[in-house]
Amino acid sequence: MTEAGSPARKPALARPYSWTEGRTQPSVELAVEARVRTTAAGRGLPQRRANALWTVTQLCHQPRSVTEIAAHLSVPLGVARVLVADLLDHGLVVVEATLGDDAGADERRDLIERVLSGLRAR
């Protein structure tokens, strides 16, 4: 119950999933730590503040991880993955791998710490 005596409202997930037309699986596999950067084509999109895809292109003028994008948009990670995959399919962003298959435990730990640090700083 809230102070006014009405039941507390939980955030609705309908809106984020409407951004992806109900899709929960991206067209490509994206690691949560993968860094996303807007391309020149993405920077040229006309301003549409109410559009989630435009918002992602604006966020990614500075490279951001898929996890950071989800946090900035306040959406589930699955929604962020679908949005990034859609932008990738249209050449509006590029996805940069952060670790190679040969990365060691120390490199993986450093990456996790950087992602967590970035999320805490937000």
Taking the domain 23-121, which CATH number applies? 1.10.10
Question: In whole angstroms, how far apart are CA 59 and each of 8, 9, 34, 66, 90?
Answer: 31, 28, 14, 11, 17
Give the CA angle between residues 74, 76, 81 to the nearest 5°. 110
The sign of the dihedral angle between the CA atoms of 16, 20, 24, 30 is negative
Confidence of residue 1 (pLDDT cuts 50, 70, 90): very low
77-89 and 66-73 helices cross at what angle (nearest 10)? 110
- 71: number of Cβ within 10 Å: 16
Region 91-110: what's the mean pLDDT? 82
Higher pLDDT, residue 18 or 117: 18
Region 4-22: what's the mean pLDDT? 62
Dihedral of the alpha carbons of 108, 109, 111, 116, in degrees to the nearest 10: 140
Region 93-101: what's the mean pLDDT? 81
What pLDDT digit, counting tens, does each position of 19-78 carry?
787 888 888 888 888 899 999 999 999 998 788 899 999 999 999 999 899 989 888 889
